[in-house]
Amino acid sequence: MPINPDAVGTKGEPVESSWTSKDCLLYALGVGAGMSDPTGFELEFTTENSQNVDQRALPTQAVVIPSFGSAMTNIGTFNPAMLVHGEQKVVLHREIPVQGSVVTISEVTGIYDKGKGAVVEVTLDSNLEGDGEPLFTNVFSAFIRGEGDFGGDRGPSGPKNVAPERDPDASITYQTREDQALLYRLSGDRNPLHSDPEFAKLAGFDKPILHGLCTYGFTGRALLHGLCGSDPARFKSMEGRFSSPVFPGEALTVNMWVDGNEAVFQTLGDDGRVVLDSGLCVFE
């Protein structure tokens, strides 16, 4: 069965996910924390036993704790190799503890006909076990090549969160490691596109590319330090569109344009190309 547009509104079964202090440390290292950062070694994110430093979790860890969601099984069949991660949004309802469990319910919230492919949007609401209150929400969209032309709604189009035509109010550059993808994959995404040179060549790349959500995590760190005074409790939401692959070893520059408690942002690769676009961060 091809993509089923009637799946919009369907929900998956609740799925439990847990994480530990060690998972938080590993995720932080996977998105570059502690590497020649202007804030120091980010000990609150990279250690659990430093004197007078309480361990904390990076806000963007919310994207790796739950799975894509069981609701994806409702959308029909497709070739997974044709799926590309398009956009990602995360909303923090409160600060993520350094260990815990959540129960996540996923819902198909959109299926759009883009002609050459279909865009599927899934929303995942994660409640903390123990008190049952919301902890974070993820919204991701995936573009599935070859699954369009089913006569459906084309969905939202046109630019959003456009950067102003002026110099950014803040700009932070982080250097990724040559082995960054090998480190990041230990937080859950073992796709060989990011580790196996031969598999990457089959996909049309000279070498393995960096996970999009790793670029997202590097960007989230820049937003945390540049806008929130390095305080995860002030980080409320982040959204962006993946626009170009990144290779491990590239430097990533995050430019931010601030307007009140919001900031439009873009992340640029080594050569100045935009790799994460249409960015918006809400903060306190």
**Catalytic positions, written as ranges:** 189, 194, 209, 212
Let me know if 85 is exposed, middle or buried by CB neighbors in 10 A (0-12, 13-18, 19+).
Answer: middle
Let me know: does 135 contact 254? Beta carbons within 8 Å.
Answer: no
β-partners of residue 170 are 256
Q: Distances in Å between the alpha carbon of 34 and those of 45, 51, 73, 97? A: 8, 17, 38, 20
Residue 175 sits at the vertex; the CA angle it makes with 96 and 166, to the nearest 5 degrees, is 85
Closest CA to 101 of 10, 194, 23: 23
Q: Do 94 and 64 form a contact (C-beta atoms < 8 A)?
A: no
Q: How far apart, in whole angstroms, are the C-alpha atoms of residue 26 and residue 261?
A: 30
Tokens of 121: 């949007």
How many Cα neighbours within 13 Å face the side chain of 202? 9
